[in-house]
Structure 1
Amino acid sequence: MASKPKANKSKPAARPTPKPLCSTPPRIKPSLPAVVANDPRRARAILNSQGKWLNGTVLHYCFFKTGHFAVSKKQADAVRAAFAEWKAVGIGLVFQEVTQMSEAEVRIGYSEPDGSSASAVGRDVLHIPANEPTTIYGWDLTTPYGRGTALHELGHVLGMEHEHQNPFAGIKWHEEAVYTSLGKPPNSWTRATTFRNILEKLDPSQVQGSSWDPDSIMEYEFEPGLIDEPEQYDVNGLVPPGKLSKADKEWVLKWYPPLAAQPPTLEPFKSVSVSLAAGQQVNYLFKPTESRKYTIATTGATDTLMGLFEEVNGVARFLASDDDSGEDRNAQIAYKLFAGRRYHVRLRLYNPGQTGITSLMVS
């Protein structure tokens, strides 16, 4: 009997057609006072938390209906499905569609002629002019690749960065090959755009954990010949599955865990103390018995973000916030509250200081 021919194990993988990639705008880099910048632990804690939303925030989103960024129903439905998939992980954030741009923190546009998808990262969306999109899609979101893109851009909205820019990834690039590939269609990027979105390493304070997740929804697809190390990606390219990975879900649940059904209640002139680690959050309910201006304030040598929300028809609507991170003061909100209504006070700790103890009081 004739022997079977041996398989050619050295045959290279088929070269995939280059995909259009997400091009994020330059990040807003906070300016930290020298006393903070010279304290690496404090600076890292602030930078790692500052772009994240307060858990429990209702993120309102709206689609452009007319003009250059008009979103068709088919594409809008794909984005709605992506919001639902992130929410199904069990996170405490709420996503609510609205019809008025002025009501939306997240304003979604679509433009195939532009040929690029992009989104501001986390709370950076708050710095985008109200008549401009914060998140733009540039290709069909109903394909398998497009569905992954819809999830990817919303990952940016939640505060996630590009995974291949993780400084712990250990990726070594064929840099000129990267510039050449991304300089051609369908991306046609400048060298500066390629560097910002591919080759530039994130500051360690911008990433979670100390390992790389090649299956992350925040990972790009790369053709063979762009990655020098790890070697398997040089030969075969890197093709992530285009869905939420286990690590993606762990990340989003760390920052936005499910909210307690009955948060503890604050009482006027009664201080409460909490011990939190960097990035953790505590939530309280306040039910005023008289209508007047109240002051809600923290004490302690910590860096925090505090937010005040009013419960309207079961939904917590944002009223005010104060971020004292990097400053020699404590967070404080003064606001007129009304008897018989329900308010939520949420406090995220950036840096725990020496003790990790933060006190909170309504007066």
Structure 2
Amino acid sequence: MTGRYCSLARQPAPAFGPELTAERRGALVSGNRMWVNGTVLHYYFFDGDADGSVIPVPGTGSVRRVSWGGGQEQRDVVRDCFREWQDLGIGLSFVEVGDRSEAELRIGFQRGDGSWSAVGRDALRAGQHDRTMNFGWDLAAPADRGTALHEIGHALGMLHEHQSPFAGLAWDDEAVYADLAGPPNFWGRETTYFNILRRLDPDEVNGSVWDPQSIMEYPFPSGLILEPEQFRGGLHPPGTLSTVDKEFVLRWYPPADRSRPPALVPFRSVPLGLGPGEQADFTVEPPETREYTVGTFGASDAVAVVFEERDGEPRYLAGRDDGGTDRNTTIRARLVKGRRYFVRVRLYSAWGPGETAVMCW
């Protein structure tokens, strides 16, 4: 029998037109869920009986509320795992908040609902009162701490390692379906296919090689994997961050430059000069309070985000992704005189002649 597994919810795949080159499409697929570097991700723990799901009680016609709250010990494990990721020196940071409206990541502990997380920026699609992450079993046992590291890996934009096309895993499909249909997962065939058997696009995965030691790799018992031969007896990752895990997140989120970014002055464009995956950061100190537009120019695919500085840290205000389209990113937002804002632009790819640029007006 297999262990308890993370179950990702199916999200609509990005729709790209047939006119996109393979290089341009690959850049979009690899980066579309990743945060812009320098983002402060605020996380909130649901707590108490008022937060939870309303589910029907079979045979009664009534409903009951299932709490999303978790105990202090459970929350402490998750806090510790956020610190472990951040202590790698990545350019993202994590801050716990007590107001769910301030949080990009909202964490529940509903037993029986499995452990799962939105992947990267998919968390922004969730409603303000909805979970973006859940832990469906006790995390207190040392062997289950890896679950929290794994789900935070998803929140950073990482996907399941065993689904990498570079893994070369040949499955006994029917054995996998039968095993996951039983306890403790009780998965249907569609969930099993989506989370285990389905191979990812080469551009989606967490690197160009398979890492069987990754925190994003499931453990598997014997009898499920046919090839490679050395894994017929099972696959047993250690449940810790591997060297490749650390290299991946540091490549996407290198240590933040602590110096103040250059100013983006209204009506003055700034050339970007970025390569694929690179990012430019700016500050905006508006000379008057009004609605402004922040936009990019040039034949490029990019994501731009505006943050407002509050209590000394950037809070997400608005963002726009023009990836895969022929239009440029434009963000309209009300900026207030006397406050400081940050504009971060990450390039997927530049696919035409001429320079790319950003301007605020």
Specify the alignment match of 2:33 in structure 1: 51
Partner deviation per Cα, 1:124-183 (whole Å, 9 max, x = no partner): 122223322111111111222211000000111111000000011111112222112112
Greater alpha carbon shift after TM alignment, 186-195 vs 157-166: 186-195
CA change 1:57–1:98 in 2 (3 A) is same
User: How does 1:1-363 map onto structure 2 within 5 Å?
Assistant: 18-36=2-20, 39-67=21-49, 68=66, 69-114=68-113, 116-235=114-233, 237-262=234-259, 263-355=261-353, 357-363=355-361
TM-score, structure 2 as length reference: 0.90
SS of residue in 1 equivalent to 2:272: strand
The answer (yes or no) to whether the contact 1:108–1:133 under 8 Å persists in 2 is yes
What residue ranges of structure 1 are gaps of 5+ in the alignment?
A: 1-16
The answer (yes or no) to whether the contact 1:122–1:157 under 8 Å persists in 2 is yes
Question: RMSD in angstroms over aligned alpha carbons?
Answer: 1.7
Runs of 4+ displaced beyond 4 Å:
none
Shift of 1:27: 2.3
Greater alpha carbon shift after TM alignment, 151-160 vs 338-347: 338-347
Shift of 1:46: 1.3
Specify the alignment match of 2:58 in structure 1: none
Partner deviation per Cα, 1:251-281 (whole Å, 9 max, x = no partner): 1111111221122222333322122222221
Give the whole-Å Cα distance in 2 for the aligned partners of 1:223 and 1:362: 56
Amino acid at match of 1:251: F
Shift of 1:292: 3.8
The answer (yes or no) to whether the contact 1:302–1:356 under 8 Å persists in 2 is no
Specify the alignment match of 2:63 in structure 1: none
Partner deviation per Cα, 1:193-223 (whole Å, 9 max, x = no partner): 1111110001122114321000100000001
What residue ranges of structure 2 are gaps of 5+ in the alignment?
A: 50-65
The answer (yes or no) to whether the contact 2:291–2:334 under 8 Å persists in 1 is yes
The answer (yes or no) to whether the contact 1:163–1:214 under 8 Å persists in 2 is yes
Give the whole-Å Cα distance in 1 for the aligned partners of 2:92 and 2:355: 25
SS of residue in 2 equivalent to 1:297: strand
Give the whole-Å Cα distance in 2 for the aligned partners of 1:355 and 1:240: 46
Shift of 1:335: 2.9
Give the whole-Å Cα distance in 1 for the aligned partners of 2:332 and 2:7: 40
Give the whole-Å Cα distance in 2 for the aligned partners of 1:150 and 1:91: 18
Greater alpha carbon shift after TM alignment, 130-139 vs 70-79: 130-139
Partner deviation per Cα, 1:269-310 (whole Å, 9 max, x = no partner): 332212222222111122234444433221110011111112
Greater alpha carbon shift after TM alignment, 330-339 vs 186-195: 330-339
The answer (yes or no) to whether the contact 1:295–1:362 under 8 Å persists in 2 is yes
Q: Percent identity?
A: 50
Specify the alignment match of 1:9 in structure 2: none
Shift of 1:35: 2.8
Give the whole-Å Cα distance in 2 for the aligned partners of 1:356 and 1:106: 38
The answer (yes or no) to whether the contact 2:38–2:256 under 8 Å persists in 1 is yes
SS of residue in 2 equivalent to 1:204: coil
The answer (yes or no) to whether the contact 1:275–1:356 under 8 Å persists in 2 is no
Specify the alignment match of 2:57 in structure 1: none
TM-score, structure 1 as length reference: 0.89
The answer (yes or no) to whether the contact 2:82–2:152 under 8 Å persists in 1 is yes
Give the whole-Å Cα distance in 1 for the aligned partners of 2:169 and 2:342: 44
Shift of 1:356: 8.0
The answer (yes or no) to whether the contact 2:27–2:349 under 8 Å persists in 1 is yes
The answer (yes or no) to whether the contact 1:324–1:331 under 8 Å persists in 2 is yes
